[in-house]
Chain A
Amino acid sequence: MPDGAQSETRVRETFRAEGITKIYKTGDLRVEALRGVDLTLYEGELVVLLGPSGSGKSTLLNILGGLDLPTAGTLFFKDMEITAATQSELTTYRRDHVGFVFQFYNLIPSLTARENVGLVTEIADDPMQPDEALEIVGLEHRLGHFPSQLSGGEQQRVAIARAIAKRPDVLLCDEPTGALDSKTGIVVLQALERANRELGTTTALITHNAGIKDMSERVIRFADGQIISVEKNPVKKPPEELTW
């Protein structure tokens, strides 16, 4: 390990990925989705992942979240080697440490907003109250509504509340604003930003809107299954000042 890292130890690592490769094989077809990705994410930071379609962003995020395992490479979450975990260890890992937000909200239609959040708080160690989580995303007045009775933006904010209610260590968001207009998108991003700031949750956010990169600490660019650049964002802007 280089000596320069010594000064960084006060800022602890959340993820350390080395040489992550993912190859999909379907019949004779072979797709190299990730081709040797090295990446470290630090506690409490908010990073934005950018890159053309098919460049491997989602694949990496899924691997970070323990939904999928890489074909090769190692991934550490703090001291835990994710790449050596069993299926049930991965489940526990997701349950205790990870919050997910997807482009298509993936709420349970048969449960109300509060119950959707309750779904997670019931199985978590030290969760917040569902109402509290919904308050963070500004939905305290929509507790008893079913997903079908909520707008897309509201549904996405319930999904965020559900993701943060367990006080996760990491929040992984795959195009959370992809299905929303920019005004609604900003409300959603505000909810994410607040969770990141108030709870200190390490947050990775995939987006196709380059404008969003201004709210991050670092911007990671993908192309062809590889990271082509990592740049620090000197000035972090609050979401309400973003445009796209």
Chain B
Amino acid sequence: MVIRIDPLNKKLFRDLWRIKGQGLAISAVVACGISLMIASFGTVAALDESKDAFYNRTRFADVFAVMKRAPDSLLQEIEQIPGVATAETRITAVVNLDIPGMNEPATGRLISLPERGTPLLNNVVLMSGRYPSTQRPNEVAITDPFAKAHSLSLGDTFKAIINGKKRSLEIVGLGLTPEYIYALGPGALMPDDKRFGAIWMSRKALAAAFNLDGAFNDVSMSLQRGAQTEEVLRRLDVLIKPYGGSGSYAREDQLSHFFLSNELDQLRTSGAIFPPVFLLVAVFLLNVVVTRIVTTEREQIGIFKAFGYTDVEVGWIYLKLVLILVGVGLSLGMLLGLWMGDSMITMYKTYFKFTLRDFGVDPAVFATAAAISLGAGLLGGLGAVRQAVGLSPAVAMAPPVPTSYEQSGLAALFSKFEISQPTRMIFRHVSRFPIRSGLTIIGVAFSVALMIMSLFFLDSVEKVIQVYFFQAERQTLTLTFVEPRPATVEQEIQHLPGVITTQPVRSVAVRLRNGHLSDRKAIQGIVSGADLNRLLDSEQKLIEPPPGGMALSKYIAKDLNLKLGDTVTVEVMQERRPVVEVPIVRIVEEYLGFQAYMRLDALNRLMKEGPTVSSVHVLVDSRYADELYTTLKDTPAVAGIVQQTAALDSFRNTMDNTMNVMIGFYVALASLIAFGVAYNAARIALSERARALASLRVLGFTREEVTYILLGELGILTLISLPVGCLLGYGMALSMSPMLSTDLYNFPFVIENATYGWSVVVVSISAIVCGLITRRRVYDLDLVTALKTRE
């Protein structure tokens, strides 16, 4: 059977084939936008749904509080608080662990399991094994990632120092918990599966170990729908205050949840910013290309119409062209998006510890992606198609008119200079089509900016690392005590093996309040002349802790609407819980973990206590480190040890795993945009000038000279767009930096020269590659045919 293709469709296919390079570039840019959209929507959906499912399945609590010791009878009162659905008490404790094969001590959080049945709230999802038996006090279940990090399996044992006694614990179960999806140990900045894990034991065993029979030190509760969380927290605080409660907090402030939702927010933000940028560029490219085609085919269109084809039939060919280009981009984008999403989920699986479902995309997202890209395509092509529809058949008969140029303004300026005619052609052409030249400049500039914006993240993180780890926090490790201790403990620590210097710290959990605004924070008491953990100003110059007041992190000050000279109400959440007014005498800029600072002695006075410390920073001689660790493993008073190098490693690791994946995508996509825009510009210039260039060749110009005319234009436009792009990137990074900052992390606005350099280099290379490809076309120009036809 012979398939008859009507001539219009034949023409369509020939056109498509002719512009295949440009078409592919457009489709690729569409694909980028769509793939980012699908990947980020799909990832957000997978994370969000898995999170909700996991929270539901484990009955993750809405409100949490810890205290020193409260009688079991308090539970009834807590349950009476209006809005509370379920309340459950627990015994929890942070302990040092001695893991076989690990020199440094690790930290564990012991969590009690109810006498009967499974926990009502914050249940463990057992991956293997079983719950520890009430009858056997040494049986435990531990978090699965912690076990994996140490190659521990069911039946293995490890040691923990529980209330001063070293005990051997046997693993009978491996599980996951909603409380540690993001498994951050006490005082840690980043999760580290080797150094922190949760451990579940029977309540009876824990009560016995900590003398908490008939008592608890931890309560969690779920709320009824529509409950007033703030009010519940307030009432709970009142109830637990007599029992040494250190302030209740809602799920939003629960660390693991906080990080998870933070990551989700960030994903949503980037998912909302990047795809539109790509689609806009695609719209622009489509517009340029289709307009160009319609312009060159004015006569053909006129002839079609003269033969009796209707406007709709003619418009439809060009519309089909647009739809095909967008359709190809859409399909490629969907495939690419599935792949990207899949690799993002794989990455998140190592980062968030819960039953994260595989990447998958709701058909609705596909439909939205299709609708958006088709919409973008129509937007880009419609102007051109309308132009085709509006053409009168008479244009076919009109004589060819050379593009009109005028001696004016900018062009006149060129005439004054002694420049060669080819150079003059370049300038005339650029200024003759200012809009098109401008759009090309914007397109290329956008890719430079996108590249700068992506690389800016790395600069920013590096700046944080430099300041935080190498200038602000210079200790080898920090020992945090179970209970605050008399300041003399510092001397004891100085005598431990390998200790070079120490620095005492008093950290107090407080609620900072300014009118109705309040924030749960910690005040750090530091000594003057501190050399390990130092307070820095925004230029990273050392500041002494202010004698008569508080130094406040800029971010907290902004949050609480406080400025220098104001006073802030400090509601201490522990010990005697004093409430005091403290003047703000200094604002400091911090990048990581925002806090408030006071002089150690002033803080001790505020707490109505003698010289007391809660942790000590230590600088260690690395030769004696192992010896020190062995000693520390057996020191029950030490609840947590944070090692700076390990923290830095895990910080870098996390960043490498998460950000670099995204940044890699963005950089690749930005190069693609640069390529797409430059290639289109070059190809359009070529198709428009083929005839002029052929004429020049006939006149005896060499291929190189002719190539110069063509690529000179691309070169000039690229040269202009590079600084424009740098400025644009600067602006985009500047506005991104606050958008991405969170309650815990500040993205400082830093762009290294290397970032500008790389962006410029990568984009220039794309432009040069386009130039080389186009040069081949100039070389293959067929002089005879180019001249035979009229414009």
Binding site for B on A (CB under 8 A): 58, 62, 65, 67-68, 88, 91-96, 98, 100, 102, 104, 106-112, 115-116, 118-120, 122-124, 144, 146-149, 152, 155, 162, 179
Contacts and interface: CB of A to CB of B under 8 A. Distances in A.
Interface in B363-422: 399-407, 420-422
B425 A91 contact: no
A148 B699 contact: no
Given A104-B790, A108-B692, A110-B428, A120 B407 contact: no
| Best-buried of A98, A116, A144, A148 by chain B (most CB within 10 Å) | A148
13 contacts: A67-B698, A95-B699, A98-B700, A100-B698, A100-B699, A107-B695, A110-B432, A110-B692, A111-B405, A112-B407, A148-B405, A155-B402, A162-B699
A148 B403 CA distance: 6
B791 interface: yes
B787 interface: yes
A93 B428 CA distance: 29
B421 A148 contact: no
B702 A107 contact: no
Given A104-B791, A115-B424, A65 B698 contact: yes
A120 B697 CA distance: 11
A109 B425 CA distance: 9
Contacts of B421: 108, 111, 115-116, 118-119, 122
Contact of B404 (A116, A120, A148, A179): A148
Contact of B425 (A100, A108, A147, A162): A108
Given A91-B702, A122-B420, A148-B401, 18 more contacts: A67-B698, A68-B783, A88-B702, A91-B697, A94-B699, A95-B700, A100-B698, A108-B425, A109-B692, A110-B425, A115-B421, A116-B421, A144-B407, A146-B407, A147-B402, A148-B404, A152-B399, A162-B699
B428 A111 contact: yes
B1 interface: no
Contacts of A155: 402
B250 interface: no
Contact of B405 (A62, A88, A146): A146
A179 B401 CA distance: 13
Interface string B422-455: 1011001100100000000000000000000000
A112 B788 CA distance: 23
B665 interface: no
Contact of B696 (A58, A119, A179): A119
B702 A106 contact: no
B743 to A, nearest CB: 59
B749 to A, nearest CB: 44
Most chain A beta-carbon contacts within 10 A, residue among B399, B407, B421, B424: B421
Closest 8 A/B residue pairs (Cβ):
A95-B700, A148-B404, A110-B428, A109-B402, A94-B700, A106-B695, A147-B402, A119-B421
Interface string B657-700: 00000000000000000000000000000000001101111111
B783 A67 contact: yes
B698 A123 contact: no
A143 B477 CA distance: 83
A107 B402 contact: yes
B404 A146 contact: yes
B787 A102 contact: yes
A91 B706 CA distance: 12
B776 to A, nearest CB: 14
B404 A109 contact: yes
A147 B428 CA distance: 14
Given A102-B787, A110-B425, A111-B425, A148 B402 contact: yes
Contacts of A93: 700
Contacts of B420: 122
A19 to B, nearest CB: 21
Nearest to B399: A152
Contacts of B695: 106-108
B43 to A, nearest CB: 50
A149 B408 CA distance: 14
A91 B701 contact: yes
A119 B429 contact: no
B3 interface: no
